Structure 1
Amino acid sequence: MSGFPFQGFPEQPRPQKPSHPKKGMTPFRITILVLVILGAFIYVASDLWTQVLWFNQLEAQRVLWTKWLSILAIVAVATVVNATIVGLNMNWAHKKRPRSMLGGRSESLMQYQEKMTSLRRVIFWGVPLVIGLFTGLGLAADWRQIIMWMNRTPFGVTDPQFNTDVSFYVFTLPLLKMILSLFTTVFVVSLLASIVVHYLYGAIQVAPRFRVTRPARRQVGILAAILSLVVGLRYWIAPYRALVETTGSPSDGALYTQVNAYIPAQLILAVISVLVAILFVVAAFRGTWHLPVAGVAVTVVSALVLGMAYPALIQQFKVRPNERALQSPYIQRNIDATLAAYDLEDVEVQTYAARTDTATGQLRDDAASTQQIRLIDPDIISPTVRQLKQSRSYYTFEDQLNVDRYEIDGQKRDTVIAVREIDLEGLDNNEQNWVNRHTIFTHGYGVVAAYGNRVDSKGEPQWWEDGIPSTGDVGEYEQRVYFSPNSPEYSIVGAPEGSDPLELDYPDEQSGGQVPTTFDGDGGPSIGNFFNKLLFAIKFQSTNIFFASQINSESQILYDRDPALRVSKVAPYLTLDRRPYPAVVDVDGDPSTPKRLVWIVDAYTTSNHYPYAQHVNVSAATADASTQDSALYAAQPNINYMRNSVKAVVDAYDGSVSLYQWDEEDPILKSWMKTFPGQVKPLADISGDLMAHLRYPQDLFKVQRSLLAAYHVTEAGDFYTGGDRWRLSENPTSVRNVDGSTPVQPPYYLTMQMPGQESAEFSLTSVFVPGGRADREPMAGFLAVDSETGSEAGKVREGYGQLRLLALPSSTTVPGPGQVQNNFNANAEIARELNLMDQEGSEVILGNLLTLPVGGGLLYVQPVYLQGTGSTKYPVLRKVMTAFGDSVGFSETLEGALDMTFKGDSAAELAEGTGSTDGSGSGDGEDLDLSTQQKLTSALQGARDAIIAGEDAMKAGDWAEYGKQQQRLQNYLTQALRLQNELDTQTQLSPEELTVDAPEPTAAPTEPEGTAAK
């Protein structure tokens, strides 16, 4: 520095950044923070306490507390175990830190130590607590598994590999996987955290050479040994897991490679893991790491060689060249287990050499089936019901109606039934206020029911129960509908005795426009006190609840009103059918009390741990053309065991939920009944009238049919070959999805008699076509299940649930649904008629394509609806199409279509009013001439309109439009001539009846010169 010219100046301090006063927690910030915390606490507390009130009202509080306590226990145990083990290990590592660091003090490590000194307790206990909390929250979703294990019930069936009861796989194995997952996380975190602490405090030195203190070596060695034992336990349960895992082609479960290579390898790896654990213990006390490190290397190499490479080599070079022979014994295990797991062991399979030729009188012996052919499509007719029976804009009906059977005049008849629900969106704008939406328009009213196989002279359903209040053959019942799929979010009801009624009950022109009422049931939590009003005002974020003068000491709040939602909350261990359906029944079996309108929900117990059974995605298997907008309440998305164990009944008036044991042998349901004693009522408690309206569930049938497409082949060799695999037919009337796929055809409820069946019964049916290319769709099989439960209290009818499969031999070619639909479309007469119907202002809608095994073959029946345009449009039945083999029929009536199909006379015995020209509301079938006359008049009116439109086009010089109207005129005249001929064969019409006020026909205009003909 001597050469520096300013050497004499003293060294100046570096300028410091200007200091700013620290911004502490001002009173304002503290207040905001306290208010936020208090608001969050109040919101969470209100949600929790309102749940308690809701479950208490349904007397299902044990379910709620069991769920909450189970989740709390899982989170608490996971948090405490993780925090205790990890925290103790970190603190022990700190306690055993050396007085002086190995190799001297490192400046960087000293800085870390200084920073950790003040935060050591927070880090050493807080981090393990947070990790444990998140681990517990991840495991909390499996709370059902712990409850089931605590109340497990033996299946009485053993697996074919280890001869272990299936209950071990269903109840114990998932719990073992959960516990081992927890301990793997705990000891991995403990080991890593301990190593970090030892390193930071100098007990482990990496450079210039690796050195470890004795306490660190012992702790790390013991933790590594424990972790190795945990890994060994995972290897030990891996063979059991192989039996329940999805292995793909050709089937699930442990196949040849798994049994002969993978399972032995896992057991060897388990032994190696135990040996490595011993080596770590030895290293902890002997001071050498060479043996355990070598053991870890051997474990890794063994896992790669034995666990991956060896099974892959066996699969590639031994199994694939001889797959059918080697895999067949294990495929047979899969077949047997799948049939058992899905209750398919007793399917009656019959080879059905269906005939395709037709003859006069061919349906004479099939009266039991033909009498109940359903013409009303429940997925199409809803707009018709709304237009004709809705009564007021604030009512509505579901988009898809329901098929049931009722006894009318001493005879069971298939019925299409709908519930009139409240629809707040139908209120006028000036009526859309809180009081109306939540205290006045609170409920729907009654049902409407129509014959499934009858229409009147206008093509509209023939009702046997309608009106508001409804009257008909149902009898007296409680008609108010407070609980339904489309009920409002919440309604506040109830009042002290003697108070003026506030709620709208139903409209009545004789009573000043409406009849008022007051809810007098027990349907929701009380909201009459200050505390509850405050809680529910917070829950629904509405100050009106707190300040409304309509709320009184007797007020109740009704919410969560969807029947399926209520069942899912009361019984969270069940998977629910997509389609709850209504029924008017005598629930208590007392004829002196009014019947009740109830919602019936089919519920299932499921598992994904049945050994060797095939896995199914339940949402995908139950999706079809009728389920596009419906949700599925599923406890498990992927399953390989399913039983319809419970029938749930939700009262439409008070929302009460009743669960009935349907499958008395199901071990899973028995386990839950031990958990919640008294919640599920015995089968004996089902009344006779309720029994008569239960049925075989759709979603179970859908899962079963999806499996039977492959598992109708029960011999392993043929199953492997796959030459006889089927698939479900695409729905021929559906449009393609965005991804290019077409929804499959839904199953249909029909009353019919299968070949070999003693009598016609209410059944659920479906069809199969050959697997492979989607453009090849001859019929391959027809499946029906006996859905009739009988009407004896507490006893299911013998024969219920019997699956019958008609397998068509390959030598028989019967058109499938897609081919039949194509035959209809390609028929010149049908195409001409449909085009005539599908004129501007009208729309042709094709109904469900039903299939029935009658006449020695398979008969197809499809109703054809016509719908106008405008806001009041609704479909009405206009035609019926039938097919048998390649012979098709098309007529205004089912009888006419069948006769056309079967050479002029099918000899089918049909119900009255089976077509748009049968009956005019009474169903007596005696108004055929009048309906045909009406159609003739309509055709002549259409001709008149075409003449007028043609004249207008001529005047405007629009020759293209003129030509179009001339073609319309020709079509209408052709139709009128055919109808006239039909009338002439039955009766002679008077000239007055045929008169149509039409202008005189105008000669075809002469086009101006120089205009080309168009």
Structure 2
Amino acid sequence: MKNLNKPIIITTLTIFIIYLFGLFFNYYGDWLWFKNMGYDSVFDTILLTKISLFTIFFFIFIVFSGINIYFAYHRGSQSRNNIPLAEDDPRQQILRLFQRKTITWFWAIVIFFFAIFMGSYGSADWNEFLKFIYPSSFHLKEPIFKKDAGFYIFTLPVYQFVVSWYLFMVIITSISVLFSYYIDNAFNYTARKFNIAAKAKNHLIQLSAFFALGVSAHYFIKLYNLLYSSNGVAYGPSYMDVHAQIPAYWTILVISLIMTLLLFFYPFYKKIKIIVSALGIWVLVWVGFVSIYPVMIEKYIVKPNELTKETPYILNNIKFTRAAFGLNKIKVKPFSVDQNITYKDILENHNTIKNIRLWDRRPLIQTYKQLQEIRLYYNFNSVLVDRYHFHKYTEVVMGARELPESAIPARAQTWVNNHLIYTHGYGVVMNPVNEITPNGMPNFIVKDIPPVTSVNLNIKQMAIYYGEKTKQFVLVNTKAKEFDYPKGDDNVYASYAGKGGVQISSLLRRLVYAWKFSDINILLTGYLTDQSRIMFYRNIRQRVATLAPFLSFDTQPYPVVGKDGSLYWIQDAYTTSNMFPYSEPLYQNPMERGINYINNSVKIVINAYNGDVSLYVINPKDPLVQTYEKIYPKLFKPFSDMPHSLKEHIRYPTDLFNIQTKMYNVYHMTDPKVFYNQEDYWEIPDATYSYGKEKMFPYYIIMRLPDTKNEEFILMIPLTPSKKDNMNAWLCARCDAQNYGQLIVYTLPKDKLIYGPMQIQARINQQPDISAELTLWGQQGSKVIKGNQLVIPIKNSFIYVEPVYLQSEEGQIPQLKRVIVAFKEKVKMRKTLDEALKAVFGVTTDQMMNPQQSTGKHIRGINVLSIEARKALKHYNNALNSLQKNDWANFGKELQQMQSVLSKMTQSETKSSTNPSEKY
């Protein structure tokens, strides 16, 4: 036995030391990463909290279990020494195996193992403990226990965890103590009689007292958890919960505390009948008061008068759910639909019309892949909508050209290629959402490699080291030149010139990362120099989740070209919780309650070249983000610090908008009677893509909202009544910085039929000329794709726009071939949006040229003279600015340009009046 002890101890210590070294290498590698980005304080806070919690829970378990097992071993000595075991008793083998010293080591190892587990279990909840230490107030008290909502988000989770951890500790310790008494034969069953040593009985009863104390605490927690009850007609405590469950839980809590005292003091009175009687009372109360009584209250008091009894609790649910999801900030405005706009109104809203998105992202990404990936190793993960100020406010679609490891040809996937040569993607592709070339392709305003641009867009640093598909680590500034971009049949190579990644200059650091990534080549390669750097966590979602694991993230980060010519990613981040009282969760299942609080409080900007990450607080009033700012004072920046060129690109995130829309469809009903009967339940309408049906997805659009003067970038979705297709409202979120986050729902008259998307789709399908043409295309070896239908509010009316794409089975490049426009009873399909609009509104060429109906010359629905007039005014203002600066050369240049524009305007007007039959 002694010979076995030494190798067991040596093996255990060796494994433990290797584990510690691995832990150190992993944490040290991450600490270097945090430090390189300037956020080592965040890492230190998290690590120190984990270590502190591990230490606290580790030693609490060791002390509690160690003392109890020590007493069990020594109190079992009398039975062990004086009550012999039968030769065939399995405990004989255990006693032969363990001598006195060996049993000490055995219990030490068992306690140490469980202490590590319990310490790790405790440290895993580090975020809840940090929030517990730095709480914030919501200034919103729930009406049952009069606690601020902050108590349930910051305090209650820690209480719950401590109680569950404590009960787990007591159970593990009790099982260990029972096992110790069992092998010592302190209890047995002989001659139909259960025998137990007095000391063992006293010990086990006192352990039961610890368990009873945990049960008391458990019912104390259950009182507060009633605020997440789903027993009533609305989420949160119902009439039955308040008038039956709460008194029942208080009763069982008090009895449990009495049981705890009786069990603790049993050795002083030693009357087991008192314990048994108290336990019997506890069971009777639990069965009668906790289980049966609430059912009787629900059946005979609540059900006959349910609306009356539940009304106060329905109101609580509505109030807190609307607060948790930001629905109480939605402004409700009437939208009086008259459907009497004319083509003149279309012209007056030409900025809206010229930004109607004809390019659906789903066929467009296939076009990007076919036309702009350039080489097979490039890839577009997504194409996303944004807007830029060029000569006008322009809505665009943009994609970033990345280079994922999986796209490298199999034969070329060597370690050097994967980690040293093919290190980054290159460039972006951009096209306006509504412009089409004659062959039905998007009009790329940024394209090719190196990027070629036809607009005023500063493009300098287009290398993409950090993106959506960059997962593997790479080594830069090595002796191997990095592939930068292809140029004809040759390649351009470059060396990284930024500060991204961790410098890997020392042998220790190479060893650390070789261990961290399980890659010995990092240690052995001869390509590294003193200036080499290792980049990892390059996937932007993984990057921000590693930096701020306490936040939740939107599924659609999007690229932005900054005024400095660099490429950035903007990632929306949320503070979330599933502990907001009374608030309806997004989903419920037996294992987990869905989130019932969400706030888009943080905008994250990631530099695609350096990997720098900046977190800007856009909603400083959010109590959760206030708490995180207290915990990590160096992590967050005020939104005012975000560069203006990036503020121009913030947008309301679609994930949050979808969640709020889903909740608002129910919680716009604030009248408890209407809510109870679900009389006015709304839905997101169905839509078609290709010929399949799916739920409509919200869409970004530049338009002028009612009662506003200028066009702005918004996110919107039409809404329909439940199980009906007519439209009864539309919801929008304002995205431009000055109005960011404002939500408005425009309600439609209930006495009018306003067509919803599926009703318009049915009318499109019923048009013989449209159906015939689309059917003909489908029979000619091509696939017809009906794109996203957009509902566009214009003044007090709606027009409906749906693009139609044609995809060759051979070429697989979708082409935009037709645009369908619907207004009132008219549905027309033409080659362009402008032609379809003119057809719907009955505009002829003669009407276009009649000066009494139209001023100026119109091309594609834009008043040319009006545009030229703005150009002239611009040159005039530039001339005045030059005059103030005494810049006479530029002053003369601007006057000449203004004169040229005015001359063109005069010629156009003369030509229009003398040749009215000219076709445009």
Under TM normalisation by the shorter chain, which class is it?
0.7 to 0.9
The whole-number CA distance in structure 2 between the counterparts of 1:647 and 1:680 is 10
Q: Which residue of 1 aligns with 2:530?
A: 553
Q: Are 1:877 and 2:816 an aligned pair?
A: yes
Residue 165 (structure 1) shift: 1.5
Residue 285 (structure 1) shift: 1.1
Contact 1:367 1:909 in 2 (8 A): no
Letter in 1 for 2:577: S
Contact 2:459 2:561 in 1 (8 A): no
Q: Are 1:704 and 2:643 an aligned pair?
A: no
Letter in 1 for 2:756: G
Contact 2:320 2:581 in 1 (8 A): yes
Match of 2:433 among 435, 452, 457: 452
- The one-character-per-residue Cα deviations of 1:365-396 (angstroms, maximum 9, x if unpaired) are 54453232121222321222233333333323
Contact 2:426 2:463 in 1 (8 A): yes
- Relative to structure 1, the CA distance from residue 873 to residue 618 in structure 2 (aligned partners, 3 Å threshold; closer, same or farther) is farther
Q: For 1:362-377, what aligned pairs fall within 5 Å after superposition? A: 363=346, 366-377=349-360
Q: Which residue of 1 aligns with 2:568?
A: 598
- Relative to structure 1, the CA distance from residue 393 to residue 185 in structure 2 (aligned partners, 3 Å threshold; closer, same or farther) is closer
Match of 1:239 among 216, 223, 235: 223
The whole-number CA distance in structure 2 between the counterparts of 1:516 and 1:459 is 35
Q: Which residue of 2 aligns with 1:440?
A: 421
- The one-character-per-residue Cα deviations of 1:148-187 (angstroms, maximum 9, x if unpaired) are 1112222222112221121111111000011111111222
Q: Which residue of 2 aligns with 1:322?
A: 305
Q: For 1:720-735, what aligned pairs fall within 5 Å after superposition? A: 720-733=676-689
Q: For 1:511-660, what aligned pairs fall within 5 Å after superposition? A: 513-586=490-563, 594-617=564-587, 638-660=594-616
Contact 1:456 1:918 in 2 (8 A): no
Contact 1:102 1:211 in 2 (8 A): no
The whole-number CA distance in structure 1 between the counterparts of 2:58 and 2:761 is 62
Q: Which residue of 2 aligns with 1:482?
A: 465
Q: Which residue of 2 aligns with 1:417?
A: 398
The whole-number CA distance in structure 2 between the counterparts of 1:782 and 1:910 is 35
Q: Which residue of 2 aligns with 1:378?
A: 361
The whole-number CA distance in structure 2 between the counterparts of 1:323 and 1:34 is 65
Q: Which residue of 1 aligns with 2:212?
A: 228
Q: For 1:818-833, what aligned pairs fall within 5 Å after superposition? A: 818-833=758-773
Q: What percent identity do the matched residue pairs reach?
A: 29
> Which of 1 and 2 has greater Rg?
1
Letter in 2 for 1:454: E
Residue 556 (structure 1) shift: 1.1
- The one-character-per-residue Cα deviations of 1:894-927 (angstroms, maximum 9, x if unpaired) are 1222233334479999999979x999xxx9xxxx
The whole-number CA distance in structure 2 between the counterparts of 1:643 and 1:574 is 10
Residue 578 (structure 1) shift: 0.3
Q: Which residue of 1 aligns with 2:386?
A: 404
Q: Which residue of 2 aligns with 1:675?
A: 631
Helix, strand or coil at the partner of 1:614: coil
- Relative to structure 1, the CA distance from residue 198 to residue 441 in structure 2 (aligned partners, 3 Å threshold; closer, same or farther) is closer
- The one-character-per-residue Cα deviations of 1:81-115 (angstroms, maximum 9, x if unpaired) are 22321221121133234746899655349736555
Q: TM-score, normalised by structure 2?
A: 0.85
The whole-number CA distance in structure 1 between the counterparts of 2:860 and 2:426 is 29
Letter in 2 for 1:185: F
Q: For 1:771-790, what aligned pairs fall within 5 Å after superposition? A: 771-772=722-723, 776-789=724-737
Q: For 1:82-101, what aligned pairs fall within 5 Å after superposition? A: 82-97=61-76, 99=78
The whole-number CA distance in structure 2 between the counterparts of 1:246 and 1:734 is 43
Helix, strand or coil at the partner of 1:557: strand
The whole-number CA distance in structure 2 between the counterparts of 1:701 and 1:523 is 34
Q: Which residue of 2 aligns with 1:52?
A: 31
Q: Which residue of 2 aligns with 1:938?
A: none
Q: For 1:52-201, what aligned pairs fall within 5 Å after superposition? A: 52-97=31-76, 99=78, 105-107=84-86, 108=89, 111=92, 117-118=99-100, 119-198=102-181, 200-201=183-184
Letter in 2 for 1:581: Y
Q: Which residue of 2 aligns with 1:339?
A: 322
Say which structure, 1 or 2, has more relative contact order (CA 8 Å, 6+ apart).
1
Letter in 1 for 2:624: I
Paired residues in the alignment total 854
Residue 480 (structure 1) shift: 1.7
The whole-number CA distance in structure 2 between the counterparts of 1:125 and 1:25 is 13
Please, which runs of 5 or more residues in structure 1 have no aligned partner?
A: 1-21, 587-593, 620-635, 737-741, 790-796, 924-984, 990-1014
- The one-character-per-residue Cα deviations of 1:240-271 (angstroms, maximum 9, x if unpaired) are 1111x251663221111111111111111111
Residue 205 (structure 1) shift: 6.0
Q: Which residue of 2 aligns with 1:901?
A: 840
The whole-number CA distance in structure 1 between the counterparts of 2:128 and 2:188 is 45
- Relative to structure 1, the CA distance from residue 493 to residue 115 in structure 2 (aligned partners, 3 Å threshold; closer, same or farther) is closer
Q: Which residue of 1 aligns with 2:893?
A: none
Q: Are 1:752 and 2:708 an aligned pair?
A: no
Q: TM-score, normalised by structure 1?
A: 0.77
The whole-number CA distance in structure 2 between the counterparts of 1:295 and 1:574 is 48
- Relative to structure 1, the CA distance from residue 293 to residue 904 in structure 2 (aligned partners, 3 Å threshold; closer, same or farther) is farther
Contact 2:688 2:787 in 1 (8 A): no
Q: Which residue of 2 aligns with 1:768?
A: 719
Contact 2:79 2:197 in 1 (8 A): no
Helix, strand or coil at the partner of 2:822: strand
Residue 443 (structure 1) shift: 1.8
Pick which of 852-861 and 297-306 moved more: 852-861
- Relative to structure 1, the CA distance from residue 213 to residue 505 in structure 2 (aligned partners, 3 Å threshold; closer, same or farther) is closer
- Relative to structure 1, the CA distance from residue 843 to residue 249 in structure 2 (aligned partners, 3 Å threshold; closer, same or farther) is farther
Q: Which residue of 1 aligns with 2:890?
A: none
Residue 881 (structure 1) shift: 1.0
The whole-number CA distance in structure 2 between the counterparts of 1:476 and 1:200 is 77
Residue 484 (structure 1) shift: 1.1
Please, which runs of 5 or more residues in structure 2 have no aligned partner?
A: 849-853, 869-915
Residue 122 (structure 1) shift: 3.9
Helix, strand or coil at the partner of 2:301: helix
The whole-number CA distance in structure 1 between the counterparts of 2:423 and 2:857 is 40
Residue 225 (structure 1) shift: 2.4
Contact 1:371 1:910 in 2 (8 A): no
Letter in 1 for 2:137: P
- The one-character-per-residue Cα deviations of 1:541-580 (angstroms, maximum 9, x if unpaired) are 4454344333222111222211121111101110000000
Letter in 2 for 1:902: F
Letter in 1 for 2:701: L
- The one-character-per-residue Cα deviations of 1:509-536 (angstroms, maximum 9, x if unpaired) are 4xx8333221011111223333333443
Contact 2:385 2:700 in 1 (8 A): yes
- The one-character-per-residue Cα deviations of 1:388-428 (angstroms, maximum 9, x if unpaired) are 33333332322x3111111112x221111122222555555
Letter in 1 for 2:540: P
Helix, strand or coil at the partner of 1:533: helix
Higher helix share: 2
- The one-character-per-residue Cα deviations of 1:117-155 (angstroms, maximum 9, x if unpaired) are 445324433334333433444444322101111122222
The whole-number CA distance in structure 2 between the counterparts of 1:819 and 1:329 is 39
Helix, strand or coil at the partner of 2:151: helix
Letter in 1 for 2:420: T
Letter in 1 for 2:394: R
- Relative to structure 1, the CA distance from residue 734 to residue 124 in structure 2 (aligned partners, 3 Å threshold; closer, same or farther) is farther
- Relative to structure 1, the CA distance from residue 63 to residue 910 in structure 2 (aligned partners, 3 Å threshold; closer, same or farther) is farther
Letter in 2 for 1:461: P
Helix, strand or coil at the partner of 1:454: coil
Residue 198 (structure 1) shift: 4.3
